[in-house]
């Protein structure tokens, strides 16, 4: 036990010496240090933007804090001998297939897209743009909204079409001058609605839950009539279904039960073939239609290749600079080898010392990625895979980026991992070549 403790102290002391030496080298070679740190920072910043976007779209973030337990029924195909229809679900189909799931913790039926309307404040003739999301009452069980005042509309409101709505705190302030707006009336498209609840603002990035105003889907004029064509037997419509499993492990049970119900439902139909996929959070982003097969192997390889390119190109560019910097230390390395230092020990020292430069560059890259995300937040969310956002951010909408979206343990760990990989790519080969020189040749180099 004493020997192990002593060995740990020696290792810690050695690593500390490496870092002190690296700090001295940084001060002695400012040109190399600046170029290397800048090159590393630019490379890491581009990769971290990709990592942050992926995290925002897949992690549990307010109010979509159950993403890891959620399943989505969205893409539908109905085929007949004469035609083919692709869309979302009709309200009747959604209720028939998903209302009685026994394994799910919660099921919500949601109008697939937000609707752009205008509010008319009492204090001005200005038309205030509003993003309305139409939902059922279980929507508030699936998503964890933080109510500042009041609560959601009720089942009675949904069935009766009573105009009770939930609004965001920023909309409440704009329309009433306060977040304590429950019981007050607002005008939307020149019709009066009663505020029953006020919630904390939701970022536009949260594509499943975002809205300025939330109201019962019974208030949508197209609810019962949309795309009710005879050849599709009323199967298609404008609704999505979101399912929440009691736990991550229970997702398979929920999906299995839902697919069994869908199979029975499909078999009961005549003259039409009905296809609907039940996807998890990641699958639903990549799926373009119900009959589109997702090849995650190819998708994964594409992203790995992109990251390798973003790491490799600047790393190769910096390898020449690193090689030149290593040549200045050949005599020092030759002396250490003459005193018994192995090639492995020297390579480890050189890589560890250079890790200081890489970590500084990584820190700069991480900060730069935050600045890029903040400065370009209005359009950068459209970059990447099937984002499901509209082609442009709605008028008057500011894309909110919370601290938790940018600063969190997975992002920090990703940044550290990419720094280590970059360090190995940029320094590994020059360090191995330099440490492998013959001792006699190294000692004679001035």
Spacing of C-alpha 181 from chain mean position = 32
How many Å apart are CA 376 and CA 401, to the nearest integer? 11
Question: CA-CA distance, 287 to 388, in Å (whole number)?
Answer: 10
Q: What is the pLDDT of residue 230?
A: 56
Between CA 270 and CA 276, with CA 273 as vertex, the angle to 5 degrees is 130
Confidence of residue 224 (pLDDT cuts 50, 70, 90): very low
Comparing CA positions, the residue from 104, 110, 138, 141 lying closest to residue 218 is: 110
**Average pLDDT over the chain, rounded to whole?**
83
For 308-323, write each residue's pLDDT tens digit. Answer: 888 888 887 777 777 7
Pair 262, 97: CB distance under 8 Å: yes
Alpha carbon distance 426, 152 (integer Å) = 55
Q: How confident is residue 438, by pLDDT bands cut at 50, 70 and 90?
A: low
- Do 353 and 423 meet the contact criterion of CB atoms below 8 Å apart? no
Say which residue the tokens 């394994």 belong to: 103
- 10 Å CB burial of residue 348 (0-12, 13-18, 19+) is middle
Greatest mean pLDDT among 2-6, 250-254, 324-328: 250-254
Q: pLDDT tens-digit profile of 25-35?
A: 667 777 777 88
User: pLDDT, tens digit, for every residue of 56-100?
Assistant: 988 999 999 999 999 999 888 888 888 888 888 888 899 999 998
SS3 51: helix
**Running DSSP on this structure, what letter comes out for residue 226?**
T
- Contacts of residue 285, defined as CB under 8 A and 6 or more positions apart, other chains included, come to 57, 58, 385, 386, 387, 388
Tell me the pTM: 0.82
SS3 percent helix, strand, coil of the chain, rounded to 5, is 50, 15, 30
Closest CA to 164 of 121, 193, 134: 193
* Strand-strand pairing, 128-135 and 70-79: unpaired
Q: Cα(248)–Cα(70) distance, rounded to whole angstroms?
A: 8
For the record, the structure tokens of 188 come out as: 């939307």
């Amino acid at each position: 036990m004493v020997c192990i403790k002593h060995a740990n102290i020696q290792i810690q002391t050695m690593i500390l010496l490496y870092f002190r030496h690296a700090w001295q080298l940084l001060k002695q070679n400012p040109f190399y240090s600046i170029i290397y740190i800048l090159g590393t920072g630019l490379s890491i910043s581009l990769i971290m933007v990709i990592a942050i976007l992926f995290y925002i779209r897949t992690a549990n973030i307010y109010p979509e804090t159950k993403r890891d337990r959620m399943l989505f029924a969205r893409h539908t195909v109905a085929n007949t001998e004469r035609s083919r229809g692709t869309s979302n679900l009709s309200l009747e189909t959604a209720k028939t297939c998903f209302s009685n799931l026994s394994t799910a913790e919660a099921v919500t039926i949601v109008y697939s897209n937000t609707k752009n309307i205008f509010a008319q404040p009492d204090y001005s003739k200005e038309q205030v743009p509003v993003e309305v999301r139409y939902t059922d009452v279980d929507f508030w069980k699936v998503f964890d909204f933080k109510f500042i005042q009041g609560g959601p509309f009720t089942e009675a409101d949904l069935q009766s079409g009573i105009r009770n709505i939930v609004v965001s705190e920023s909309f409440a302030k704009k329309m009433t001058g306060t977040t304590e707006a429950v019981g007050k009336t607002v005008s939307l498209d020149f019709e009066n609605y009663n505020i029953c609840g006020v919630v904390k603002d939701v970022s536009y990035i949260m594509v499943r839950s975002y809205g300025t105003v939330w109201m019962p889907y019974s208030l949508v004029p197209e609810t019962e009539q949309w795309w009710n064509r005879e050849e599709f037997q009323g199967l298609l419509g404008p609704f999505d279904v979101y399912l929440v499993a009691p736990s991550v492990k229970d997702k398979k049970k929920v999906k299995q039960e839902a697919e069994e119900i869908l199979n029975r439902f499909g078999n009961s139909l005549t003259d039409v073939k009905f296809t609907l996929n039940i996807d998890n959070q990641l699958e639903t982003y990549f799926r373009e239609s119900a009959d589109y097969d997702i090849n995650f192997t190819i998708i994964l390889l594409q992203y790995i290749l992109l990251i390798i390119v973003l790491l490799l190109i600047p790393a190769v560019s910096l390898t020449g600079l690193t090689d030149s910097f290593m040549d200045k230390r050949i005599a020092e390395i030759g002396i250490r080898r003459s005193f018994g230092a192995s090639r492995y020990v020297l390579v480890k020292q050189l890589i560890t010392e250079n890790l200081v430069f890489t970590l500084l560059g990584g820190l700069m890259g991480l900060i730069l990625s935050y600045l890029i995300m903040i400065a370009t937040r209005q359009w950068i969310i459209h970059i990447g895979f099937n984002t499901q956002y509209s082609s442009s951010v709605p008028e008057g909408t500011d894309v909110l980026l919370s601290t938790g979206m940018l600063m969190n343990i997975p992002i920090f760990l990703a940044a550290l991992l990419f720094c280590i990989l970059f360090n190995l790519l940029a320094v590994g080969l020059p360090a191995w070549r330099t440490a492998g020189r013959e001792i006699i040749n190294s000692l004679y180099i001035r």
